[in-house]
């Protein structure tokens, strides 16, 4: 049994088949990239997994549990975190409180305890804070702890998105174009972090990416999509030489 | 300028970042505690209203400022609190019981209002809360067996532990102050724990909040309930302070006054609620002063600049007629809101921060520090 599995996943908007009977599996501890031209349905697959969209048909399994019908907020609770292509940070909050929201799935305190800020709440806060500090150290975010997001440059925000997802201590992380809008150096930093996530934190990575150099550097396997269908699946080199993939990108 | 070197996670959690805060808030508290024995009884009464308005302001900040759900229905929550107190008091229920009951009932109704509000955003939510306020106002006027209709209800002086606390006594002021301080401390506690952060997350991006495991619907309802409950507590004090309540006290204009409290004070910090409350309570005597004295002053000026006695008297009566126009207060409120949104979007507390920073950085302060920046990256929101 695979760690994460999508079976015949479809998403139709009226007559448009954004995702059309896509099946794939992610093994524990691997980095799987999804590539494809614009509008191929890559981000739609992510939105199906994080339940922003409801699939027209098909099922999603995680750790042998059917999560197709789970409410969106429970997906994070199960250990699946994600980042967003266009950055969905909490603009008017500090970096620290953004990252602490990432800890939300681990919060156990009740409302009345929080109103009184009982010792248990304080103790929990310190645990959260320590975990957040580990992520801050991992991603070199020390200079930004108390800064507001709205004053930070794009490249830093992108890293904070990754950090927020990591703060939830996910088992599976969905990265939606982690390198979009980043320069060459930032992209290479990102590739190191993605590999470290896998090797040091033991996180399984499912990634949508356009930058082929990043895909080649980090991916164990690649899936190529076009018009909502799987064109090819395999190692990065295999997929890039697949005639259908070449045709999709260059136009045959 | 003071630099804070954080050496412990506790430094990020504590309410007072450094000893300077303890000193200044200590002095403020001391001043507030000796105030009733020093200032005039009129100013005392105004201070009580500041406490009540600030409490509602904090409640509204939780909902609007931190959770991002606008509400123009808080006058209705205040009314529910006030009427619950008046009704229960009639049947001899002791103060602590009906005080808590009013908060609980208002909180429950707030949660019920929160449910239909889950599907509404922005202006539509405002419309929904306004209609809720109108419904409550109408019920108060019609349900005569409970509310005594438009005749209104008398509220007797409250008695606590066998002691009667009149609405003008220092004890009543201390009670209002205590409710305000407890509300502020409770809210600060909430804001530094997971619930408060979930509120802020919902305000800034519902999609991201959801994908981080925040049950958006549940937390919105929680925010409505907490905000309504606090307003209900304030309503009890409001009823006691006025000693008489009737439906026409809880109109849309009152809800707008509450919105002004937070807009003018500043929506990003609890300081805003207090500053805004001071502003709104003090503007009333100021307007009365203008209304009473302005016609005379203008007529006097007209006479100085060579107008005849006849025409000066003419000017005086014209200005007096204008000043006593119905709805002038509402118009002035409207102008104030527009001016603040345009020129001081961070409110009075934002202005205070700017002044503070000016002296901290003197002579290096840059106006651009607080300039609103254009956001170039705006995500396609998945709602």
Q: What are phi and psi of A91, to 5 degrees?
A: -50, -45
More confident site: B365 or B262: B262
Average pLDDT of the segment spanning B219-243: 94
Q: What are phi and psi of B364, to 5 degrees?
A: -105, 10
Q: Which two tokens stand for residue A230?
A: 């799987």
B76 interface with A at CB cutoff 8 Å:
no
Question: Of B283, B265, B260, B262, nearest to B275 (Cα)?
Answer: B265
The answer to which of B16-20, B95-99, B190-194 has the lowest mean pLDDT is: B16-20
CB contact under 8 A, B204 and A91: yes
Q: Tell me the chain B residues in contact with residue A76 when contact means C-beta distances shorter than 8 Å.
A: 211-213
Smallest Cβ–Cβ distance between A115 and the set B186, B198, B213 belongs to B186
Q: What is the pLDDT of residue B26?
A: 93
Average pLDDT of the segment spanning A215-223: 92
Smallest Cβ–Cβ distance between B193 and the set A47, A102, A125 belongs to A125
Q: What is the pLDDT of residue A171?
A: 93
CB contact under 8 A, A73 and B213: yes
DSSP A50-68: TTSS--SEEEEEETTEE-T
CB contact under 8 A, A104 and B198: yes
Q: What is the pLDDT of residue B25?
A: 92
Q: What is the pLDDT of residue B380?
A: 46
Q: Is the pLDDT of residue A236 over 50?
A: yes
Q: Tell me how close the Cα of B15 comes to any Cα of chain A, in angstroms.
A: 11
Asked whether the beta carbons of B73 and B132 are under 8 A apart, the reply is yes
Q: How far is CA B364 from CA B28, B357, B369, B373, in A?
A: 30, 10, 11, 20
Q: What is the pLDDT of residue B107?
A: 96
pLDDT in tens, B136-176: 999 998 888 888 888 888 888 888 887 887 788 888 999 99
Q: Confidence class of residue B377 from pLDDT cuts 50, 70 and 90?
A: very low
Return the residue in A88, A116, A148, A160 with the most chain B beta carbons within 10 A, the one to mutate for interface testing.
A88
pLDDT in tens, A119-157: 999 999 999 999 999 999 999 999 998 888 988 888 899
Average pLDDT of the segment spanning B351-375: 76
B281 three-state secondary structure: helix
Q: Is the pLDDT of residue B97 over 50?
A: yes
Residue numbers of A between 8 and 37 with CB closer than 8 Å to B = none
More confident site: A114 or A251: A114
- Region for residue A147 given its phi and psi (left: phi exceeds 0; alpha: psi -120 to 50; beta: otherwise): beta
Residues making up chain B, counted from first to last: 383
Average pLDDT of the segment spanning B67-79: 92
CB contact under 8 A, B211 and A86: no
CA dihedral B46, B190, B95, B134 (to 10 degrees): 70
Residues making up chain A, counted from first to last: 252
HEC assignment per residue over B304-349: HCCCCHHHHHHHHHHHHHHHCCCCHHHHHHHHHHHHHHHHCCCHHH
Q: How far apart are CA B161 and CA B338, in angstroms?
A: 47
Q: Tell me how close the Cα of A193 comes to any Cα of chain B, in angstroms.
A: 20
Average pLDDT over chain A, rounded to an integer: 90
A42 interface with B at CB cutoff 8 Å:
no
Q: What is the pLDDT of residue A137?
A: 93
Q: Is the pLDDT of residue B379 over 60?
A: no
Average pLDDT over chain B, rounded to an integer: 87
Residue numbers of B between 112 and 171 with CB closer than 8 Å to A = none
pLDDT in tens, A98-111: 999 999 999 888 88
Q: What is the pLDDT of residue A252?
A: 57
pLDDT in tens, A4-58: 999 999 999 888 889 988 999 999 999 999 998 888 888 899 999 988 889 999 9
User: What percent of chain B shows pLDDT beyond 90?
Assistant: 43
CB contact under 8 A, A101 and B214: yes
Q: Tell me how close the Cα of A235 comes to any Cα of chain B, in angstroms.
A: 30
B210 interface with A at CB cutoff 8 Å:
yes
Q: What is the pLDDT of residue B372?
A: 59
Q: Is the pLDDT of residue B373 over 70?
A: no
| pTM, rounded to two decimals | 0.90
Q: Give the number of A-B residue pairs with CB atoms closer than 8 Å.
A: 128
- Region for residue A133 given its phi and psi (left: phi exceeds 0; alpha: psi -120 to 50; beta: otherwise): alpha
Q: What are phi and psi of B48, to 5 degrees?
A: -60, -45
Q: Tell me the chain A residues in contact with residue B196 when contact means C-beta distances shorter than 8 Å.
A: 114
Question: Of B147, B21, B173, nearest to B85 (Cα)?
Answer: B147
Q: Which two tokens stand for residue B104?
A: 């609980």
B246 interface with A at CB cutoff 8 Å:
no
ipTM above 0.85, yes or no: yes
pLDDT in tens, B294-311: 788 888 888 888 777 778
Per the listing, tokens 């500043």 go with: B266
Residue numbers of A between 70 and 109 with CB closer than 8 Å to B = 71-77, 81-82, 84, 86-93, 96-97, 100-105, 107, 109
Q: Tell me how close the Cα of B9 comes to any Cα of chain A, in angstroms.
A: 6
* A92 secondary structure, DSSP code: T
Q: How far apart are CA B73 and CA B224, in angstroms?
A: 11
Q: Tell me how close the Cα of B140 comes to any Cα of chain A, in angstroms.
A: 32
- Other residues' Cβ atoms within 10 Å of the Cβ of residue B305: 8
CB contact under 8 A, A101 and B198: yes
The answer to which of A6-10, A195-199, A244-248, B126-130 has the lowest mean pLDDT is: A244-248
Smallest Cβ–Cβ distance between B9 and the set A129, A150, A181 belongs to A129
Q: Confidence class of residue B382 from pLDDT cuts 50, 70 and 90?
A: very low
For B216, name the nearest residue in chain A, comparing CA atoms only. A73
pLDDT in tens, B169-208: 888 999 999 999 999 999 999 999 999 999 999 999 988 9
Asked whether the beta carbons of A236 and A219 are under 8 A apart, the reply is yes
CB contact under 8 A, B200 and A88: no
* B16 secondary structure, DSSP code: S
Q: What is the pLDDT of residue B383?
A: 45
Q: Tell me how close the Cα of A99 comes to any Cα of chain B, in angstroms.
A: 10
DSSP H helix total and E strand total for chain B: 16, 4
Q: Confidence class of residue B1 from pLDDT cuts 50, 70 and 90?
A: low
Q: Tell me the chain A residues in contact with residue B373 when contact means C-beta distances shorter than 8 Å.
A: 150-151
* A177 secondary structure, DSSP code: -
Q: Is the pLDDT of residue A118 over 60?
A: yes
DSSP B34-97: HGGGTS-HHHHHHHHHHHHHHHHHHHHIIIIIIS----S-HHHHHHHHHHHHHHHHHTT--HHH
């Amino acid at each position: 049994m695979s760690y994460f599995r999508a079976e015949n996943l479809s998403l139709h908007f009226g007559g448009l088949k954004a995702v059309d009977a896509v099946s794939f599996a992610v093994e524990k501890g691997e980095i799987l990239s999804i590539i494809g031209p614009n509008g191929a349905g890559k981000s739609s697959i992510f939105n199906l997994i994080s339940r922003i969209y409801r699939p027209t048909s098909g099922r999603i399994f995680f750790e042998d549990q059917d999560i197709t019908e789970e409410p969106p907020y429970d997906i994070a609770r199960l250990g699946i975190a994600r980042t967003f292509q266009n950055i969905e940070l909490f603009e008017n909050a500090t970096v620290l409180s953004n990252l602490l929201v990432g800890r939300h799935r681990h919060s156990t305190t009740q409302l009345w305890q929080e109103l009184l800020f009982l010792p248990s709440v304080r103790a929990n806060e310190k645990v959260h804070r320590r975990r957040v500090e580990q992520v801050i150290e991992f991603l070199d975010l020390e200079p930004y702890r108390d800064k507001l997001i709205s004053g930070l440059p794009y490249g830093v925000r992108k890293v904070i998105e990754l950090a927020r997802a990591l703060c939830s201590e996910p088992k599976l992380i969905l990265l939606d174009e982690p390198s979009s809008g980043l320069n060459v150096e930032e992209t290479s930093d990102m590739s190191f972090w993605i590999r470290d996530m896998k090797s040091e934190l033991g996180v399984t990575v499912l990634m949508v990416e356009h930058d082929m150099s990043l895909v080649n550097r980090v991916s164990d396997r690649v899936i190529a999509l076009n018009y909502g269908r799987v064109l090819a699946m395999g190692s990065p080199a295999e997929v890039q030489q697949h005639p259908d993939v070449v045709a999709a990108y260059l136009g045959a | 300028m003071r630099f804070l070197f954080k050496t412990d996670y506790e430094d990020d959690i504590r309410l007072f970042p450094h000893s300077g805060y303890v000193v200044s808030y200590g002095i403020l508290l001391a001043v507030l505690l000796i105030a009733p024995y020093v200032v005039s009884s009129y100013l005392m009464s105004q201070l009580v209203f500041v406490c009540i308005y600030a409490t509602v302001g904090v409640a509204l900040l939780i909902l609007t400022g931190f959770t991002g759900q606008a509400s123009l229905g808080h006058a209705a929550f205040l009314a529910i609190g006030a009427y619950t107190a008046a009704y229960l008091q009639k049947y001899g229920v002791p103060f602590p019981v009906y005080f808590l009951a009013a908060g609980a009932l208002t909180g429950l109704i707030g949660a019920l209002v929160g449910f239909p509000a889950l599907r509404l955003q922005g202006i539509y939510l405002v419309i929904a809360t306004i209609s809720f306020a109108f419904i409550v106002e109408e019920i108060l006027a019609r349900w005569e067996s409970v509310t005594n209709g438009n005749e209104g209800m008398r509220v007797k002086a409250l008695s606590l532990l066998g002691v009667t606390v009149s609405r003008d006594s220092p004890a009543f002021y201390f009670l209002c102050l205590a409710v305000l301080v407890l509300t502020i401390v409770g809210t600060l506690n909430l804001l530094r724990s997971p619930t408060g952060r979930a509120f802020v997350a919902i305000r800034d991006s519902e999609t991201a909040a959801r994908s981080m495991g925040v049950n958006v619907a549940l937390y919105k309802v929680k925010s409505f309930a907490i905000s309504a409950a606090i307003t209900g507590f304030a309503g009890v004090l409001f009823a006691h302070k006025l000693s008489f309540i009737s439906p026409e006290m809880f109109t849309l204009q009152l809800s707008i006054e509450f919105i002004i409290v937070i807009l003018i004070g500043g929506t990003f910090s609890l300081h805003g609620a207090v500053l805004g409350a001071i502003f709104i309570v003090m503007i009333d005597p100021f307007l009365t002063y203008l209304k009473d004295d302005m016609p005379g002053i203008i007529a006097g000026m007209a006479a100085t600049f060579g107008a005849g006695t006849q025409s000066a008297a003419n000017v005086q009566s014209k200005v007096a007629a204008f000043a006593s126009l119905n709805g002038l207060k509402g118009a002035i409120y409207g102008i104030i809101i527009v001016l603040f949104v345009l020129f001081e979007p961070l409110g009075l507390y934002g202005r205070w921060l700017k002044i503070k920073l000016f002296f901290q950085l003197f002579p290096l302060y840059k106006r651009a520090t607080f300039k609103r920046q254009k956001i170039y990256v705006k995500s396609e929101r998945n709602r």
